[in-house]
Chains A and B, each alone.
Chain A
Protein backbone atom coordinates (compact mmCIF):
# COMPACT_ATOMS: atom_id res chain seq x y z
CA UNK A 1 0.00 0.00 0.00
CA UNK A 2 1.87 3.02 -1.29
CA UNK A 3 0.68 5.95 0.81
CA UNK A 4 2.94 8.53 -0.84
CA UNK A 5 3.18 8.45 -4.62
CA UNK A 6 5.42 10.26 -7.01
CA UNK A 7 4.08 9.14 -10.35
CA UNK A 8 6.78 10.66 -12.53
CA UNK A 9 10.05 8.72 -12.28
CA UNK A 10 11.84 11.47 -14.18
CA UNK A 11 11.37 15.01 -15.44
CA UNK A 12 13.44 17.02 -17.88
CA UNK A 13 13.32 20.85 -17.78
CA UNK A 14 15.17 23.57 -19.63
CA UNK A 15 17.48 25.72 -17.54
CA UNK A 16 15.74 28.93 -16.48
CA UNK A 17 12.26 27.44 -16.73
CA UNK A 18 9.99 26.27 -13.93
CA UNK A 19 10.29 22.71 -12.60
CA UNK A 20 7.14 21.25 -11.07
CA UNK A 21 7.43 18.05 -9.09
CA UNK A 22 4.24 16.35 -7.97
CA UNK A 23 3.32 14.12 -5.07
CA UNK A 24 0.04 12.47 -4.08
CA UNK A 25 -0.86 10.87 -0.78
CA UNK A 26 -3.68 8.69 0.45
CA UNK A 27 -3.53 8.92 4.25
CA UNK A 28 -5.64 11.78 5.64
CA UNK A 29 -3.75 11.47 8.93
CA UNK A 30 -0.62 13.01 7.41
CA UNK A 31 -0.07 16.45 8.90
CA UNK A 32 3.38 17.43 7.71
CA UNK A 33 5.02 17.13 4.33
CA UNK A 34 8.63 17.46 3.30
CA UNK A 35 10.75 17.51 0.19
CA UNK A 36 14.26 16.07 0.15
CA UNK A 37 16.86 16.30 -2.57
CA UNK A 38 19.38 13.55 -3.26
CA UNK A 39 22.54 13.61 -5.33
CA UNK A 40 24.18 10.33 -6.42
CA UNK A 41 26.26 8.65 -3.71
CA UNK A 42 24.98 11.07 -1.07
CA UNK A 43 22.21 10.87 1.50
CA UNK A 44 19.04 12.93 1.03
CA UNK A 45 19.15 16.54 2.23
CA UNK A 46 16.15 18.41 3.54
CA UNK A 47 14.82 21.04 1.17
CA UNK A 48 11.50 22.48 2.30
CA UNK A 49 8.44 21.47 4.31
CA UNK A 50 4.83 22.42 4.82
CA UNK A 51 2.35 21.89 7.60
CA UNK A 52 -1.19 20.80 6.82
CA UNK A 53 -2.50 24.07 8.24
CA UNK A 54 -0.91 25.94 5.34
CA UNK A 55 -1.36 25.70 1.61
CA UNK A 56 1.90 27.31 0.53
CA UNK A 57 5.44 27.69 1.80
CA UNK A 58 8.17 29.54 -0.03
CA UNK A 59 11.95 29.53 0.40
CA UNK A 60 13.93 31.33 -2.26
CA UNK A 61 13.51 29.54 -5.58
CA UNK A 62 11.55 26.72 -3.95
CA UNK A 63 7.82 26.80 -3.22
CA UNK A 64 5.71 23.93 -1.97
CA UNK A 65 1.95 23.94 -2.50
CA UNK A 66 -0.46 21.72 -0.59
CA UNK A 67 -3.98 20.88 -1.73
CA UNK A 68 -5.50 18.92 1.12
CA UNK A 69 -8.82 18.25 -0.58
CA UNK A 70 -6.99 16.64 -3.49
CA UNK A 71 -4.34 15.08 -1.22
CA UNK A 72 -1.73 16.55 -3.52
CA UNK A 73 1.40 18.58 -3.07
CA UNK A 74 3.85 20.02 -5.51
CA UNK A 75 7.30 21.52 -5.44
CA UNK A 76 8.02 24.41 -7.77
CA UNK A 77 11.57 25.42 -8.59
CA UNK A 78 11.96 28.67 -10.45
CA UNK A 79 14.18 29.42 -12.20
CA UNK A 80 15.65 25.94 -12.60
CA UNK A 81 19.43 25.71 -12.47
CA UNK A 82 21.82 22.91 -13.52
CA UNK A 83 22.67 22.23 -9.86
CA UNK A 84 19.03 21.35 -9.27
CA UNK A 85 19.53 18.11 -11.21
CA UNK A 86 18.96 15.44 -8.56
CA UNK A 87 16.37 12.99 -7.29
CA UNK A 88 13.60 14.66 -5.31
CA UNK A 89 11.72 12.74 -2.63
CA UNK A 90 8.39 13.69 -1.18
CA UNK A 91 7.78 12.51 2.40
CA UNK A 92 4.88 12.72 4.82
CA UNK A 93 4.47 12.31 8.53
CA UNK A 94 1.64 10.59 10.37
CA UNK A 95 0.29 12.23 13.51
CA UNK A 96 0.17 8.88 15.27
CA UNK A 97 3.74 7.83 14.44
CA UNK A 98 7.12 8.35 16.03
CA UNK A 99 7.81 11.14 13.58
CA UNK A 100 8.56 8.46 11.04
CA UNK A 101 8.40 9.68 7.51
CA UNK A 102 6.59 7.84 4.73
CA UNK A 103 8.48 8.33 1.50
CA UNK A 104 7.65 8.48 -2.17
CA UNK A 105 9.77 6.68 -4.74
CA UNK A 106 11.40 9.88 -5.96
CA UNK A 107 11.48 11.86 -9.19
CA UNK A 108 14.73 12.35 -11.06
CA UNK A 109 14.96 15.95 -12.25
CA UNK A 110 17.25 16.73 -15.16
CA UNK A 111 17.95 20.36 -15.96
CA UNK A 112 19.04 20.81 -19.56
CA UNK A 113 21.46 23.66 -20.32
Chain B
Protein backbone atom coordinates (compact mmCIF):
# COMPACT_ATOMS: atom_id res chain seq x y z
CA UNK B 1 0.00 0.00 0.00
CA UNK B 2 0.90 3.63 -0.25
CA UNK B 3 1.06 4.27 3.47
CA UNK B 4 1.64 2.58 6.79
CA UNK B 5 -1.30 0.36 7.61
CA UNK B 6 -2.27 -0.60 11.15
CA UNK B 7 -4.91 -3.03 12.32
CA UNK B 8 -7.22 -3.14 14.07
CA UNK B 9 -8.05 0.55 14.20
CA UNK B 10 -9.89 0.04 17.49
CA UNK B 11 -9.64 -2.71 20.06
CA UNK B 12 -11.55 -3.10 23.30
CA UNK B 13 -10.32 -5.89 25.52
CA UNK B 14 -10.88 -7.15 29.02
CA UNK B 15 -8.21 -6.71 31.62
CA UNK B 16 -5.92 -9.73 31.71
CA UNK B 17 -6.41 -10.72 28.08
CA UNK B 18 -3.63 -10.70 25.47
CA UNK B 19 -3.80 -8.45 22.41
CA UNK B 20 -1.88 -8.35 19.18
CA UNK B 21 -1.49 -5.21 17.10
CA UNK B 22 -0.32 -5.27 13.53
CA UNK B 23 1.70 -2.82 11.45
CA UNK B 24 2.29 -3.08 7.72
CA UNK B 25 5.01 -0.56 6.81
CA UNK B 26 5.66 1.07 3.48
CA UNK B 27 7.37 -1.38 1.18
CA UNK B 28 11.13 -0.91 1.22
CA UNK B 29 11.22 0.98 4.52
CA UNK B 30 13.93 -0.63 6.61
CA UNK B 31 13.21 1.25 9.84
CA UNK B 32 10.05 0.60 11.84
CA UNK B 33 9.04 2.19 15.12
CA UNK B 34 6.28 1.57 17.61
CA UNK B 35 5.07 4.45 19.76
CA UNK B 36 2.14 4.88 22.07
CA UNK B 37 0.24 7.92 23.13
CA UNK B 38 -1.75 7.88 26.33
CA UNK B 39 -4.42 10.47 26.90
CA UNK B 40 -2.92 13.90 27.49
CA UNK B 41 0.63 12.71 27.05
CA UNK B 42 3.23 12.90 24.31
CA UNK B 43 4.33 10.12 22.04
CA UNK B 44 6.22 7.47 23.97
CA UNK B 45 8.84 5.39 22.16
CA UNK B 46 8.41 1.63 22.54
CA UNK B 47 10.64 -0.28 20.12
CA UNK B 48 12.71 0.25 16.97
CA UNK B 49 13.54 -2.21 14.19
CA UNK B 50 16.25 -1.48 11.64
CA UNK B 51 16.61 -4.04 8.88
CA UNK B 52 17.88 -7.34 10.21
CA UNK B 53 19.66 -5.80 13.20
CA UNK B 54 18.65 -6.64 16.74
CA UNK B 55 15.72 -4.41 17.72
CA UNK B 56 16.08 -1.61 20.23
CA UNK B 57 13.60 -2.60 22.93
CA UNK B 58 14.62 0.06 25.42
CA UNK B 59 11.20 1.73 25.40
CA UNK B 60 9.08 -1.30 26.23
CA UNK B 61 7.46 -0.52 29.60
CA UNK B 62 7.36 -4.08 30.95
CA UNK B 63 7.99 -7.69 29.99
CA UNK B 64 4.31 -8.00 29.11
CA UNK B 65 5.16 -6.09 25.92
CA UNK B 66 6.92 -7.73 23.00
CA UNK B 67 7.23 -7.07 19.29
CA UNK B 68 8.39 -8.97 16.28
CA UNK B 69 9.29 -8.11 12.74
CA UNK B 70 10.41 -10.50 10.07
CA UNK B 71 12.92 -8.82 7.80
CA UNK B 72 11.51 -5.59 6.44
CA UNK B 73 7.89 -6.66 6.50
CA UNK B 74 4.98 -6.71 8.89
CA UNK B 75 5.49 -6.13 12.60
CA UNK B 76 3.29 -7.25 15.45
CA UNK B 77 3.18 -5.74 18.92
CA UNK B 78 1.86 -8.11 21.57
CA UNK B 79 0.67 -7.07 24.99
CA UNK B 80 0.09 -9.92 27.42
CA UNK B 81 -2.21 -9.78 30.44
CA UNK B 82 -3.41 -6.29 29.54
CA UNK B 83 -3.88 -3.71 32.29
CA UNK B 84 -5.99 -0.57 32.27
CA UNK B 85 -2.88 1.60 32.06
CA UNK B 86 -2.14 -0.02 28.69
CA UNK B 87 -5.07 1.90 27.21
CA UNK B 88 -3.60 4.21 24.59
CA UNK B 89 -3.26 4.81 20.88
CA UNK B 90 -0.47 2.64 19.54
CA UNK B 91 1.25 4.18 16.53
CA UNK B 92 3.57 2.55 14.07
CA UNK B 93 5.94 4.50 11.84
CA UNK B 94 8.38 3.50 9.15
CA UNK B 95 11.15 5.27 7.30
CA UNK B 96 13.44 4.32 4.41
CA UNK B 97 16.59 4.56 6.51
CA UNK B 98 17.87 6.07 9.72
CA UNK B 99 16.45 9.41 8.78
CA UNK B 100 13.84 11.70 10.18
CA UNK B 101 11.26 11.13 7.47
CA UNK B 102 8.89 9.03 9.50
CA UNK B 103 5.55 8.06 8.00
CA UNK B 104 3.02 7.17 10.63
CA UNK B 105 0.05 4.87 10.46
CA UNK B 106 -3.33 5.94 11.80
CA UNK B 107 -2.83 3.97 14.98
CA UNK B 108 -4.71 1.38 16.98
CA UNK B 109 -6.82 2.72 19.83
CA UNK B 110 -6.62 0.14 22.61
CA UNK B 111 -9.10 0.30 25.46
CA UNK B 112 -8.70 -2.09 28.38
CA UNK B 113 -11.85 -2.44 30.45
Contact = CB atoms under 8 A, between A and B. Distances in A.
A103 B43 contact: yes
- Interface size class on chain A is 20 to 34
Given A41-B106, A98-B56, A100-B48, A106 B100 contact: no
Looking at chain B, what size class is its interface with the partner chain?
20 to 34
Nearest to B48: A98
Interface in A85-113: 89, 91, 93, 98-106
B48 A45 contact: no
Contact of A44 (B48, B56, B98, B104): B104
B86 interface: no
**Of A2, A43, A99, A102, most B-chain CB atoms within 10 Å:** A43
A43 B40 contact: no
Contacts of A93: 100
A89 B106 CA distance: 15
Given A43-B93, A43-B104, A98-B48, A105 B40 contact: yes
B1 interface: no
A49 B100 contact: yes
A89 B42 contact: yes
A103 B48 CA distance: 15
B4 A43 contact: yes
A101 to B, nearest CB: 7
Contact of B44 (A41, A43, A46, A103): A103
B99 interface: yes
Interface of B: 4, 9, 31, 33, 35, 40-45, 48, 50, 56, 59, 91, 93, 98-107
Interface of A: 2, 4, 6, 9, 32, 34, 41-46, 49, 89, 91, 93, 98-106
